[in-house]
Structure 1
Amino acid sequence: MTLQQLQAFMEARKGGSFTAAARSLGLTQPSVSELVRRLEDELGMELFRRAGRGLVSTLAGDELAPFAEQALAAADQGVTAVRALRDLEGGTATFGLLRNAEFYALSELALRFHRRHPSVRVRLVGQNSTETAAAVQRGEIEAGMVTLPVDHEGLAVTPLVRDEVVYITADAGRAATPRTIADVATAPMILYDAHYGDTDPARRQLATRARLSGVSIEPLIEVEHLASALTLVQAGVGDTLACRAAVASATFPVGLHVARFAEPMYDTIALVTRRGHALSPATRELARFAQQTLFDHARGPHGTTTVIARTDARRAADEHVRLLAESRSMPISRTRVRGDSRS
């Protein structure tokens, strides 16, 4: 039993003849007659009887009609739903963001996307790249922007831009020269994203460098948010690190000094999706918006990031895998003080 057979049956019942049904469906009269005949053969009962020059539904036809109508209506509704997704007149876009999204204008993503596609529902999640990557892996969201490295099992990772990570201190003397990992190990460090601890991408990079240099990093204080860490740095309690975009933002505190790392350190921002899973039209478009937002930031007058060329994307992805493997072998030591944690 096919939808075309049901359509032929319903149109013949409505028009009272195969000729009328053929005209409605844009088919020939013999084609409609053959469709109904095959349906009758499958059911083992006649659906019409002749009455003069026309057709009259049999009892079997009367029994079939409401179910045929429901099946055809359901098919039409399915086609409408799919076309709505294709044309972005409906559906839901699910996407994850990294912790520092606001510094790259990604916090405006929902507003810009809604203005372009007001009928699409949007669900944005994520506080940390670790959380975003895990949500994509579990299928809770379709895609997201993350800072590498993250656990990538089952994920397709596409590096997009990178931003330098710098050392921040209230002590001008400590900012006078590039900072080594040994300097970090001996300084009173204030690290944020306390909830994620050793799985945070920045800490994983620090752990790799510490292991290779034979030192360990024991932060004096852990807090949850960068703003809290910067307040403590401004008070002279200790030092921290952050991306260039954060330093360039209007919210960065005055009076702080910035130094580069002796071995430059970068946040690599990447798009992650579930490997082997196609994105829905709505999420695919939202991902395109997010990528374009990052590229616009990089090329803008206040941009701090560098776009990763397609030819360099493979190298960046390989570097991500190396960092991840090395960081697992030596986590940063836990803290003596924890603060600003979330409930």
Structure 2
Amino acid sequence: MARINSRQVEAFRATMLTGSVTEAAALMKVTQPAVSRLLRDLQALLKMELFERRGTGLVPTAAAMALYTEVERSFVGLERITAAAEEIRGRRTGSLRIAALPALSNGYLPRLTGQFLKERPNLNLAFFGVISPIVVDWVLNNQCDVGFAEVPIAHSGLPSQRLA
């Protein structure tokens, strides 16, 4: 059995939203015959009538109403994916693991990152208080994203910057 495609679903949704194939075409920025073809192909694939002609317009069938509920769920999911991508792109979500000397991880760094977290409420920030050799090991093995250790760092493959 052939599979439905996203353009067919988009045409169905646009027609349900606007109540008209012509308006659905305008919404999709395609021609009215293109939307009609997409709807016809979708109905053939699903083996069900989605719209009935009444006068000059289309009326959704009970099957169309039931299908529309599922289509809207998928579009909400797509909108959530888009929003998540925007959050990730803006670095406002995700996780950040910071390994540091206990004196830093237990007091100074959490206070320092307060404003950073207010601007990124969906960011999960974790501090780990460990000694410098472990900080270096964790950074090298991707067990943390950022490390604060005592200098000197005795590893040439690890970029470092002196802070004070």
Q: Does the pair score TM above 0.5? A: yes
TM-score normalised by length of structure 1: 0.38
Alignment of 1:65-144 (within 5 A): 65-88=68-91, 90-99=92-101, 102=104, 109-116=109-116, 118-120=119-121, 121=123, 122-128=125-131, 129-130=133-134, 133=137, 143-144=145-146
The 1:125/1:11 distance shift into structure 2, 3 A limit, reads same
The one-letter code of the counterpart of 1:68 is V
CA distance in 1, matches of 2:103, 2:25: 58
Secondary structure, counterpart of 1:119 in structure 2: coil
The one-letter code of the counterpart of 2:70 is F
| Structure in which a larger fraction of residues adopt helix | 2
Alignment of 1:303-318 (within 5 A): 303=164
Secondary structure, counterpart of 2:101 in structure 1: coil
Secondary structure, counterpart of 1:92 in structure 2: strand
Q: Alignment partner for residue 33 of structure 2, among 30, 38, 61?
A: 30
The offset of 1:26, in angstroms, is: 2.4
The offset of 1:16, in angstroms, is: 1.9
Q: Alignment partner for residue 151 of structure 2, among 140, 151, 163?
A: 163
Higher relative contact order (CA 8 A, sep 6+): 1
Partner of 1:208: none
Alignment of 1:257-336 (within 5 A): 267-268=154-155, 270=158, 294-295=161-162, 297=163, 303=164
Secondary structure, counterpart of 1:97 in structure 2: strand
In the TM superposition, what whole-angstrom CA distance separates every residue of 1:250-278 from its partner, at most 9, and x where no partner exists? xxxxxxxxxxxxxxxx644936xxxxxxx
In the TM superposition, what whole-angstrom CA distance separates every residue of 1:131-189 from its partner, at most 9, and x where no partner exists? 7846985x8x5524276xxxxxxxxxxxxxx934xxxxxxxxxxxxxxxxxxxxxxxxx
In the TM superposition, what whole-angstrom CA distance separates every residue of 1:94-142 from its partner, at most 9, and x where no partner exists? 213143784xxxx7555555534622422222413437846985x8x55
CA distance in 2, matches of 1:268, 1:18: 65
The one-letter code of the counterpart of 2:94 is T
CA distance in 2, matches of 1:75, 1:100: 42
Tell me whether 25-34 or 69-78 shows the greater mean CA deviation.
Answer: 25-34
The 1:163/1:108 distance shift into structure 2, 3 A limit, reads same
The 1:267/1:131 distance shift into structure 2, 3 A limit, reads closer
Provide the aligned C-alpha RMSD in A. Answer: 3.4
Query: In the comparison of the two structures, how many residue pairs are matched?
Result: 155
Contact preservation (8 Å) 1:18, 1:33: yes
The one-letter code of the counterpart of 2:96 is T
The offset of 1:22, in angstroms, is: 1.4
**Percent sequence identity over matched residues?**
23
The one-letter code of the counterpart of 2:147 is M
CA distance in 2, matches of 1:30, 1:111: 61
CA distance in 2, matches of 1:112, 1:163: 21
The 1:142/1:55 distance shift into structure 2, 3 A limit, reads farther
The gaps in structure 2 that reach 5 residues or longer are none
Contact preservation (8 Å) 2:12, 2:39: yes
The 1:135/1:146 distance shift into structure 2, 3 A limit, reads same
